């Protein structure tokens, strides 16, 4: 039985460390291609990028085909004498008016308005991209958390199996001693009760494991279980650099977007110079006003904004305050990340110490369990001593597994905070 306990100890404490393994990386990449919220943000980013082309189209001319009909009555006309006895009616406009043409409208100079629109659209694209990246980091962290939770629960189940086997072995010893008259039936009942308790704990661990399988299916789209057995994640970026964090990058881009919006709002106070031209057929030309004749038109228009109800000034004020708010938001984001990173680093330091301490506890608990078994066989120890020794060893194993699991989650969180794509090769 002692070999069973030692085997579990080796399994529980023999974790080898490296960065995210290929299995976990593959699960994360699969999830990033599947998870609906990421796909939704990808589609939103694609739509946002199209707005850049829409803004650039303001540099291009607008060409339209026009067909206009109008009926006018009365129309201007005059009697012109052409002889002493005869007058001719001169009509200046027909009752039925037709105008068919192709028109062109081209902005020649908008004083930077279109450029500001393009800059704003590009900044919005970068913000949308970083929002997608932030979601990808969240999904990657979620997959890693589920992955290592399954390993943790599987390790815990193996510890429970070892404890149950230990109690089963001691149950046989008690049954033998009952037959020889050296133990009571209550001793056997107590041992069976402990076996039932350990079975219930195993059932609880199995229930939690099955829930993690369901979560992995929800996240990746397929029921995947880790083949790995160790907490092998120790990707440890140095320092406290948040320059790669998508939330910080997005906050920076929001500042750029707000500044572009401010330029755009300010440009609405400036004039706009445009060219108009059209060519087509219309009637109402003398001397035959009913005849459709080819005609062309060309000209330029300069529009000066004079009064717009104060909307331009208000929009400029709003855009300026939005830029200030974006700057405050970025500083707040960095402060929050700094706080979270310091908390994670404190957790990692504490877990390292707890893992180290648990190794000594396991060594003592193993030796205590061995001596208690020897003493029980010699009739010096009681079955309660066996139970206590086994319980202490089991707790030491589970504590060490939990510390390693919690440290792994802290390492994953540190990568997320610092914007490290640990799933990439």
* Preceding amide of 421 cis, omega within 30: no
Average pLDDT, the chain: 87
Q: Check pLDDT > 90 for residue 169.
A: no
Q: Is 139 inside a domain boundary? A: yes
Which are the contacts of 329, defined by CB distance < 8 A and separation ≥ 6? 251, 254
Please tell me the predicted confidence (pLDDT) of residue 31: 92
Q: Is 216 inside a domain boundary? A: yes
Task: Output phi, psi for 146, to 5 deg.
Answer: -65, -40
Mean predicted confidence (pLDDT) in 99-115: 91
Q: Is 90 inside a domain boundary? A: no
Q: What is the pLDDT of residues 302-312, one digit of tens each?
A: 988 888 778 88
User: Which residue range is the domain that position 331 belongs to?
Assistant: 2-67+111-283+300-418
Q: Is 356 inside a domain boundary? A: yes
Q: Is 84 inside a domain boundary? A: no
CA distances from 227 to 17, 24, 151, 209, 377 (A): 16, 10, 9, 14, 40
Q: What is the pLDDT of residues 26-55, one digit of tens each?
A: 999 999 999 999 999 999 999 999 999 999
Distance CA 202, CA 207 (A): 9
Q: Check pLDDT > 60 for residue 10.
A: no
Q: Is 289 inside a domain boundary? A: no
Confidence of residue 238 (pLDDT cuts 50, 70, 90): low
Q: Is 83 inside a domain boundary? A: no
Please tell me the predicted confidence (pLDDT) of residue 425: 64
Quick one: which of 50, 56, 206, 208 has its CA closest to 118? 56
How far is C-alpha 2 from the geometric centre of its chain's CA atoms? 48
Cα Rg, the chain, nearest whole Å: 40
Please tell me the predicted confidence (pLDDT) of residue 192: 87
Distance CA 102, CA 92 (A): 25
Query: How does strand 77-81 pair with strand 96-109?
Result: unpaired
Predicted structure pTM score: 0.78
Residues forming beta bridges with residue 275, ordered by sequence position: 106, 300
Q: Check pLDDT > 60 for residue 254.
A: yes
Q: How many domains does the chain have?
A: 1
Query: How does strand 87-91 pair with strand 62-71?
Result: unpaired
Query: How does strand 62-71 pair with strand 96-109?
Result: antiparallel
Q: Is 346 inside a domain boundary? A: yes
CATH of the domain at 241: 1.20.1600.10
């Amino acid at each position: 039985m002692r070999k069973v306990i030692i085997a579990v100890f080796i399994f529980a404490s023999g974790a080898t460390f490296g960065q995210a393994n290929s299995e976990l990386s593959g699960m994360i990449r699969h999830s990033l291609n599947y998870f609906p919220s990421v796909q939704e943000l990808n589609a939103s980013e694609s739509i946002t990028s199209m707005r850049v082309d829409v803004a650039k189209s303001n540099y291009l001319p607008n060409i339209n085909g026009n067909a206009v009909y109008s009926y006018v009555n009365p129309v201007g006309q005059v009697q012109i004498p052409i002889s002493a006895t005869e007058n001719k009616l001169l009509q200046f406009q027909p009752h039925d008016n037709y105008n068919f043409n192709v028109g062109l409208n081209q902005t020649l100079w908008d004083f930077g308005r279109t450029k500001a629109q393009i800059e704003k659209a590009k900044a919005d694209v970068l913000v949308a991209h970083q929002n997608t990246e932030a979601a990808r980091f969240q999904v990657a962290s979620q997959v890693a958390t589920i992955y290592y939770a399954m390993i943790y629960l599987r390790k815990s189940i193996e510890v429970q199996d070892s404890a149950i086997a230990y109690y089963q072995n001691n149950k046989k010893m008690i049954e033998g001693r009952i037959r020889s008259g050296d133990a009571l039936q209550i001793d056997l009942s107590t041992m069976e009760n402990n076996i039932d308790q350990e079975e219930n704990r195993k059932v609880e661990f199995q229930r939690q494991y099955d829930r993690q399988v369901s979560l992995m299916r929800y996240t990746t789209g397929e029921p995947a279980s880790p083949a790995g057995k160790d907490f092998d994640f120790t990707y440890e970026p140095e320092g406290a650099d948040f320059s790669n964090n998508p939330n910080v990058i997005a906050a920076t881009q929001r500042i750029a977007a707000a500044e572009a919006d401010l330029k755009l709002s300010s440009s609405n106070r400036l004039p706009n110079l445009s060219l108009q031209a059209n060519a087509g057929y219309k009637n109402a030309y003398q001397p035959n006003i009913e005849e459709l004749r080819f005609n062309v038109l060309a000209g330029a228009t300069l529009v000066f904004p004079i009064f717009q109800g104060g909307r331009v000034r208000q929009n400029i004020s709003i855009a300026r305050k939005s830029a200030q708010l974006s700057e405050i938001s970025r500083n707040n984001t960095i402060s929050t990340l700094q706080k979270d990173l310091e908390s994670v680093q404190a957790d990692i330091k504490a877990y390292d110490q707890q893992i180290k301490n648990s190794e000594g506890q396991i060594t003592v608990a193993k030796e205590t369990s061995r001596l208690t078994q020897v003493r029980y066989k010699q009739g010096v120890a009681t079955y309660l001593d066996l139970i206590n020794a086994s319980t202490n060893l089991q707790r030491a194993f589970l504590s060490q597994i939990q510390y390693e699991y919690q440290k792994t989650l802290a390492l994953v969180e540190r990568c997320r905070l610092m914007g490290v794509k640990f799933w990439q090769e």
